[in-house]
Structure 1
């Protein structure tokens, strides 16, 4: 991408994120570095896909934002909703695409250097996208098709009229809104829409090889209309499957924590894990016998009122929980009895957080798309990493 376009576009992208408070300071830095990595590529495609994904994702986030904020809870105890994304969340969605973009940029420049060495400084190659080649391009498009599908599915699916159903449950049982692995028809349709947006954009900005470029240096086999339609259908379907895979991974390996009082899912700040009572007791067994230490830990760990309630014990000699009055002890007591937790695990296992799931999905689907394209085109997967022509 030419610097005269890349530099102001990057500045505008970062400024918009700053003005809309879409990203934290760390997120802004990660977004700027990601934009630079995409702008280095000779084609406009990678940078355009990054911009389209960012704009579509932030727009979906702000759709009925006030309504979505009341559907879940934050770990601090306040209303839920998506806050500014941090650097980890930015990289979880774009790091794989950045790596593939830099590799493909190096590949194209290596080809150009090889042509200059063989044909002289006046050599002018087209370096177009040929039928049956450039697997890295397929991986880049697949990455953004999948993360866009997942983002729109999450942000719009939670607004569905029907209650989500757990995709990893044999009975597809109903779960609270915001549960990892919970899917709705609205969410699936939104995921398909996100994939269509990215793939359509790709078709507009891909420099396809044509009959005119077939004989040029660096040119490749031209595309037919049927071949382009096959690429569109394959990548759109792959992006949709990426959102489904994200739901499966989330349902299996990411624990969803439910607030017992409200029945709402508790969301961790920045996509991180949410603690339940058993976590604190397991990590800090001394809190079982020291109510004061447990109270202080609940306050300083930032778990909010729910965690403070769980620190109460009727045998405590100090008043550590002033939330409900107990006539026998002249203290207030928790709403759900002695030592009863106010947060419970709704589904999943506590192996990955949301950022881990997103990154694992992006890597799996990007590499998988390149593998499928290599099989379909009957070319070795190693051809994605040549140094010279």
Structure 2
């Protein structure tokens, strides 16, 4: 990509993220490095997809943001909803595409250099390496291009599905449950028809953008530098768009399966809402405290006067528990951010319980794993369909 375009565009993205508070300072720095990794590619495609994903993702995140914040609760006792994304979240969605972009850009420039060195025609002096052959994308071309598009189609579908699916009128169904049981909104692995449709829409946006910026070859422009053998027919272009759009939507489903199996979902007992970890991190679960453990804690941690105060606080907590309605509202005495409260809240029961899932991955791990699997999976399907060996991505 030309520096005259890449530099202002990168600065604009960083400023927009800062002014809209969509990224933390660490997230902005990670986005800056990601933009550089995409901008070094000779094509505009990788950088354009990064921009489209960022703008579309931040837009859907803000749809009914205040209302979505009431549907879940934060792990620190604050309101739920998506806050500014940090560097881990940025890299989880884009690092696979960044690596592929660097690899494919290197392939193109190496081919240019090899072809330039092989020119032996006396008096031939090309004005630029592009004069040696077309940089367009031929049918049956480089698999890494498919991987880059698939990555952003899948992460966009996942973002759209998560941010808009939670607004569905119907309760989500747990996709990993044999009975597809209903679960609270925000549950990892919970899906709705609105979320599935939103995921397909997000994938289609990325695919449409890729078709606009992807330099597809015709039979007249097909050349060695872009890989492949010939140009694209109109029917083959339509098949490429349809296949990538569906693959992106499948990525959203893959994320739901991975989240439902390997990511622990924690539910707040009193409000019945799902607890979201800050920055996609794992949510801690308070353990059940027995009566004897509580008495030992009171004896060792406080004086006789402090014991009396602690007992009064426990009794007040029980009364406040009765005052909490189904929506989680209270009379104002209960403060979830009080870090000095006993974990049992006076009722000898945990305040948070596991709704589903194993505690093996956090949300960022799931996003990265999904992007990795689906990107390589898309290249595998293209390798089979085009009869192009997978090791070509390293050539």
Considering the TM-score relative to the shorter chain, is it more than 0.5? yes
1:213 to 221, 234, 258: 221
The reply on whether 1:339 has 2:348 as its aligned counterpart is: yes
The reply on whether 1:364 has 2:395 as its aligned counterpart is: no
1:159 to 150, 164, 167: 167
Matches within 5 A, 1:79-228: 79-119=79-119, 122=126, 124=131, 125-214=133-222, 220-228=229-237
CA 1:237/1:333 → structure 2, altered by over 3 Å: closer, same or farther? Answer: closer
Once the two structures are TM-superposed, the CA of residue 212 in structure 1 deviates from its matched residue by 2.1
Give the alignment's TM-score, normalised by structure 2.
0.85
The separation in 1 between residues aligned to 2:106 and 2:317, in whole angstroms, is: 70
The separation in 2 between residues aligned to 1:320 and 1:129, in whole angstroms, is: 73
CA 1:116/1:173 → structure 2, altered by over 3 Å: closer, same or farther? Answer: same
Q: Which structure 2 residue ranges, 5 or more long, are not aligned? A: 319-340
The separation in 1 between residues aligned to 2:226 and 2:84, in whole angstroms, is: 44
The separation in 1 between residues aligned to 2:139 and 2:316, in whole angstroms, is: 74
Corresponding position of 2:43: 43
1:154-183 residue CA offsets vs partner (Å, 9 max, x unmatched): 000000000001000000000000000000
State whether residues 22 and 85 of structure 1, in contact with CA within 8 Å, keep that contact through their aligned partners in structure 2: yes
The alignment of Structure 1 onto Structure 2 pairs a total of residues equal to 358
CA 1:115/1:348 → structure 2, altered by over 3 Å: closer, same or farther? Answer: same
State whether residues 175 and 257 of structure 2, in contact with CA within 8 Å, keep that contact through their aligned partners in structure 1: yes
Q: Which structure 1 residue ranges, 5 or more long, are not aligned? A: 296-315
Corresponding position of 1:308: none
Once the two structures are TM-superposed, the CA of residue 342 in structure 1 deviates from its matched residue by 0.8
The reply on whether 1:31 has 2:31 as its aligned counterpart is: yes
Runs of 4+ with deviation above 6 angstroms? 292-295, 332-336
Once the two structures are TM-superposed, the CA of residue 287 in structure 1 deviates from its matched residue by 9.4
State whether residues 149 and 240 of structure 1, in contact with CA within 8 Å, keep that contact through their aligned partners in structure 2: yes
- Segment drifting more, 113-122 vs 54-63: 113-122
Find the residue that maps to 1:213 and give its secondary structure: coil
CA 1:119/1:334 → structure 2, altered by over 3 Å: closer, same or farther? Answer: closer
1:136-166 residue CA offsets vs partner (Å, 9 max, x unmatched): 0000000000000000000000000000010
The separation in 1 between residues aligned to 2:251 and 2:71, in whole angstroms, is: 25
Once the two structures are TM-superposed, the CA of residue 86 in structure 1 deviates from its matched residue by 0.2
Give the alignment's TM-score, normalised by structure 1.
0.87
Find the residue that maps to 2:136 and give its secondary structure: coil
Corresponding position of 2:394: 385
